[in-house]
Amino acid sequence: MRPEVPNKKRRTMTFTVEPMHPPYAARITGIDLRQPISASQLVELKAVLAKHVVCAIGQDEPPTNEQHIAFSGLLGPLERGKSPKIAGTAERVPHPEIIDQSNMDEAGEIYDDQDRRLAYKRANRLWHTDMSFYDIRATYSALAGHIVPPSGADTEFTDMRAVWDALPASRKAGLEDLVVEHSYWHSRVLGGGPEPNAEERATRPPAHHKLVHMHAPSGRKALYLASHACGIVGWDKSKATALIEELMAFATQPQFIYAHKWRRGDVLIWDNLATMHRATPFDDRTFKRDMRRTTCRERAIAQGGSSIA
Ligand code: OGA
Ligand code: MN
């Protein structure tokens, strides 16, 4: 068998794969997500996702909300939660499967400074993986670029399998026994949001997940961490915080990072069980950025059993 050349374009039966940050992150050409994808394209797409874990698929125009929901539903049971209701606001994208990640209000205007939704969305600028604060975790997220600002606003990724591989054996020792607590409220506060009251806190109890897990699609071990990680079961707070901060810093070193530069019409699909990601700043008081996300879960969840981020 010939060794694989990591940064070369390759043809599958149905599309072309171009590595963007070898050996992970790839751009796929030859699929248009505004059309139904074929059974063989789906099989090949899943295989590319298993290996590359972050994939961009470009279209001349972004898929409609309906097209977006249709193709991402092929990758797993879709999240159908509603965003938490913020008093006095209405939904801009009226589909429960789609999370509106824009800086725009229901009239399509840039949020004003006081809008609490803007502050909440800025928590996306912390390194995270989507929905680690639920027992039933997110697998794939699919983010579609409808309006892309002229500069900034890359989405950055790190490959948590490569991170695990790169940890020295002495540092790996014992980590596989640890269980991490993840809380939605932890990252809201870390991102500069207000402390929740007891009632708010009760609406989103924390979840527990192993710090190191097997990423089944690739058969590689990965660290599973996020800005939502707030403790380690059985450890005191300061010791847990120190380890989480150390591992987050290790995981987000430049050699692991792929920065996605958006083109309008791109759909970026990532595997939350093998990566962390973050939004990066842009002039969100001047330019519109319209991004819409669907999310697959490990298993289907009961209607009304969840919500965003
Ligand atoms: C997300 C997210 C980052 C971005 O949609 O889950 O974190 O760049 N987005 O918008
Ligand atoms: Mn996210």
Q: Is 0.75 topped by the overall pTM?
A: yes
> Is the minimum distance from the CB of 132 to ligand 1 under 6 angstroms?
no
* Residue 308 pLDDT class (50, 70, 90 cuts): very low
Q: Output the residue whose Cα is nearest ligand 1's atom 7.
A: 124
Asked if the structure places residue 2 within a domain, the reply is: no
Q: Is residue 129 part of a domain?
A: yes
Would you say residue 303 lies in a domain?
A: yes
Q: How many domains does the chain have?
A: 1
Ligand nearest to the CA of 99: 1
State the average pLDDT for the chain. Answer: 92
Ligand 1 in contact with 284 (CB < 6 A)? no
Q: Rounded distance, CA 57 to CA 146, Å?
A: 13
Residue 227 sits in a domain whose CATH number is: 3.60.130.10
Instruction: Answer whether 143 contacts ligand 1 (Cβ < 6 A).
Output: yes
pLDDT of residue 45: 97
Angstrom distance (rounded) from CA 98 to CA 111: 19
Beta strand 24-29 with 54-57 is parallel
> Is residue 3 assigned to a domain?
no
Mean pLDDT of 183-201: 89
Q: How far apart are CA 71 and CA 38, in angstroms?
A: 10
Has residue 4 been placed in a domain?
Answer: no
Q: Report the nearest atom of ligand 1 relative to the CA of 155.
A: 8
Residue 300 lies in a domain: yes
Helix (H) / strand (E) element for 212: namely strand 212-215
Q: From the alpha carbon of 260, which atom of ligand 1 is closest?
A: 8
Residue that the structure tokens 């001349």 belong to: 60
Q: Is residue 1 part of a domain?
A: no
Question: Cβ(45) to ligand 1 under 6 A?
Answer: no
Tens digits of per-residue pLDDT, 219-231?
A: 999 999 999 999 9
Q: Does 307 have pLDDT greater than 80?
A: no
Q: Is residue 5 part of a domain?
A: no
C-alpha to C-alpha distance for 81 and 69, rounded to whole angstroms: 13
Q: Which amino acid belongs to residue 153?
A: A
Burial class (CB within 10 angstroms; exposed 0-12, middle 13-18, buried 19+) of 39: exposed
Range(s) of the domain holding residue 217: 10-308
User: Which of 78-87, 137-146, 272-281 shows the lowest mean pLDDT across its residues?
Assistant: 78-87
